[in-house]
Amino acid sequence: MATQERPLRADAERSVRTILEAAERVLAANPAASLEQIAEAAGVARTTIHRRFANRQALVDAMVRNVLDQLDVVIESAHPDTAPPLVALHQITAEVLRVKLGWPFAMTESFAPGSKWAQGQQQLVTRCVALLARAQAAGLVAADADLPWTCQVYYALIGEAAHNTTGTDPHELATKVIDTLLHGAGPRP
């Protein structure tokens, strides 16, 4: 079966990575795809997936945990509590976009409402709101802004930007996202 604690051998570790990446590709295209299809995309026998992951849910969970860990690192390394708000915001946006472009399925899965990841996600929202509050204190955000709503909009903008296959440079996209978030589409004074 799977999901044991014993350290994996190097080749097993490798096939786990391969499976996770293939699952991302396949499930992004079709969330209802079978394990058979995932195995084929990974160049692996279906039984191997079952050996490494107890069931489909365990596989998805591993994918989600993977991106959540990445997001944690990304946010931490942007120093959202000490760096200038706009700098941190830009840095985080670009990096989150990079993660989202690579792991779209796992990303949407982790953000699915009412999932087991709700608490982990709530933690992200809290940090996001905290950063926005710093931006507010710095005058970047209106004093009377609805921060949870702004945070929601921020996530949505990142999601939309990730759909834009044209501008694939994360930093360029990040600039657009933050510009839209702060100023909208209206005329500038």
Residues interacting with a copy of itself, by CB under 8 A?
32, 113, 132, 139-143, 145-146, 149-150, 152-153, 155-157, 159-160, 163-164, 176, 180-189
Tokens of 21: 């990446």
List b or e across 167-176, with b for residues whose CB sees 16 or more CB atoms inside 10 angstroms.
eeebeebbbb
Of 3, 36, 122, 148, the one binding DNA by CB under 7 A: 36
Of 3, 29, 43, 156, which lies in the binding site for DNA, with binding defined by CB under 7 A? 43
Q: Which does 11 bind (CB under 5 to 8 A by kind): a copy of itself, DNA, none?
A: DNA
Contact between 140 and 86 under an 8 Å Cβ cutoff? The reply is: yes
Q: Go through 35-59 and write b for each residue having 16 or more CB atoms within 10 A of its CB, e for each that does not.
A: bebbbebbebeeebbbebbeeeebb
Distance between CA atoms of residues 94 and 163, nearest Å: 14
Write the DSSP assignment of 139-160 as a string of letters.
TSS-TT--HHHHHHHHHHHHHH
Among 47, 77, 122, 123, which residue sits at the site for DNA (rule: CB under 7 A)? 47
The single residue among 3, 34, 122, 126 that binds DNA, judged by CB under 7 A, is: 34
Closest distance of CB 87 from a copy of itself, Å: 16
Q: Which does 164 bind (CB under 5 to 8 A by kind): a copy of itself, DNA, none?
A: a copy of itself
Which candidate, 121, 59, 130, 116, places its Cα nearest to that of 96?
121
Distance CA 106, CA 78 (A): 22
Taking contact as CB under 7 A, which single stretch among the options 20-28, 36-44, 149-157, 176-184 is the one that binds DNA? 36-44
Q: Which does 17 bind (CB under 5 to 8 A by kind): a copy of itself, DNA, none?
A: none
**Interacting residue ranges for DNA, rule: CB under 7 A:** 1, 6, 8-12, 15, 34-37, 43-48, 50-52, 54-56
